[in-house]
Amino acid sequence: MEKKLRIIESRCPQDHKCPAVKICPVGALSQEGFGLPKIDYDKCIRCGKCANFCPKKALELEV
């Protein structure tokens, strides 16, 4: 089964620029203002770099 990236909204403070957006090697994460990041699943390669980088653990690769 393939992993899928998800955002845990309750862990994301949504009061700053998401630092994980710049970490994504394929540009699959985006953010408008300080809102919840969005995932482009067509671009996401499920590498887990953003999930490992997120200081609030709001990004997660689920199995």
pLDDT (tens digit per residue) in 1-41: 678 999 999 999 999 999 999 999 999 999 999 999 999 99
In this prediction, residue 1 carries a pLDDT of: 65
Work out the angle at residue 10's Cα, subtended by the Cα atoms of residues 37 and 62, and round it to the nearest 5 degrees: 70
pLDDT of 63 over the 90 cut: no
Contacts of 42 (CB under 8 A, 6+ apart): none
Sign of the torsion formed by the C-alpha atoms of 4, 32, 8 and 15: positive
Count: domains in the chain = 1
Between CA 27 and CA 30 the distance in angstroms is: 7
Band (46; pLDDT cuts 50, 70, 90): very high
CATH number at residue 54: 3.30.70.20
What residues make up the domain containing 43? Answer: 4-62
> DSSP strand E in the chain: where?
4-7, 29-30, 38-39, 59-62
In this prediction, residue 12 carries a pLDDT of: 96
